[in-house]
Amino acid sequence: MIAIIDYDAGNIRSVEKALLALGQDVTVTADRDEILHADKVILPGVGAFGDAMEKLKQSGLDEVIREVTEKGTPFLGICLGLQLLFEHSNEAPGVEGLGILKGEILRIPDKEGYKIPHMGWNSLHLENDGRLFKGIAENSYVYFVHSYYLKAEEEQIVKASTEYTTHIHASVEKDNIFACQFHPEKSSDVGLKILKNFVEL
């Protein structure tokens, strides 16, 4: 059973649909016991960092996420779900993130000819043998929607990066924790393969 954490932060159904297309048993839930007993857990999300952290704290899901990651359950953060795993974001000064991983969430710098938010397809540079990217070709394209990006503190946890006005850490992996800034569920066959790699861990 794969639990998708439901904390009212959008984009959950497309993740659920992608997993169902892979033949997985999926539950969309905010229930502590269901999340803690799942074989794998996904934290999706679109929207604002501060609002999302407030919702996680109000529902106690912040502590559930820490418990899940500490006990070694394979865990995948998607888009805002990646950003929330870190300590804080420039989007919401003074708001503490989950702090499970170390790094900064920064605003994508303005550059002539580039639109913010970054919406669309970008190619990935793969590095450090990420398990999510088994069988994925270098420079494969995936779909992004974001105005803020990750600069991870530990270079070795970065498994994919991309360029959009700056160098963006697009995916990380540390022990049982995985995260993607892009949306695998919206990234066609490449994204489905990435999700398949996660469910087959």
Would you say 164 and 127 are in contact if contact means Cβ atoms under 8 Å apart? no
Would you say residue 77 lies in a domain? yes
pLDDT for residue 43: 97
- For residue 185, indicate whether it is catalytic: yes
How far, in Å, CA of 86 to CA of 103, rounded? 6
- pLDDT beneath 50: ranges in the chain: none
Give me the catalytic one of 79, 118, 146, 173: 79
What CATH number corresponds to the domain at position 117? 3.40.50.880
Q: How many domains are contained in the chain?
A: 1
pLDDT for residue 11: 74
- For residue 180, indicate whether it is catalytic: no
> Who's near 140: CB < 8 A, 6+ residues apart?
123, 124, 190
Would you say residue 95 lies in a domain? no
Whether the pTM exceeds 0.95: the reply is yes
Q: Domain limits at 119?
A: 2-89+100-199
- For residue 79, indicate whether it is catalytic: yes
Would you say residue 94 lies in a domain? no
Give me the catalytic one of 16, 88, 169, 185: 185
Would you say residue 151 lies in a domain? yes
